[in-house]
Amino acid sequence: MNKTIYILLLLFNALLSAFSQVLLKKAAVNNNKSLFLQYINLTVISAYLIYVIVLMVNIYAMRFLSIGIVTTFSETLPLLFTIFASKLFFNESINTYKVIGAIIVVIGVVLVLL
């Protein structure tokens, strides 16, 4: 397969990872009556199952792409997506520091892909 397909797969994987983080945040803001229910509920379990799928796809992608590319996509792009997802789903602010950090991440991704 073409490397472009694997890069697109990693982009989708980064979106899934951000979605997993949104689920974990959603579970964290819910006030459960017990500590057990705070960690063992459908939202948390779903988030971790998604994260396991993300890890499996990353391992699969490493067969066809360099570890630098896979790690760059899997570790940095979810941060970008999570910033915007937190604004969208939780109305969290996007301040100057987050924007500067996001720009640095994008520059880093571009440099790794060159």
The CA–CA distances, whole Å, from 45 to 10, 18, 21, 54, 68 equal 22, 15, 12, 14, 29
DSSP one-letter code for 63: T
Domain ranges for the chain? 3-113
pLDDT tens string 28-60: 888 777 877 778 889 999 999 999 999 999 999
Q: Could you tell me the pLDDT band of residue 105, with boundaries at 50, 70 and 90?
A: confident
- Cα separation of 71 and 58, whole Å? 8
Q: What is the pTM of this model?
A: 0.82
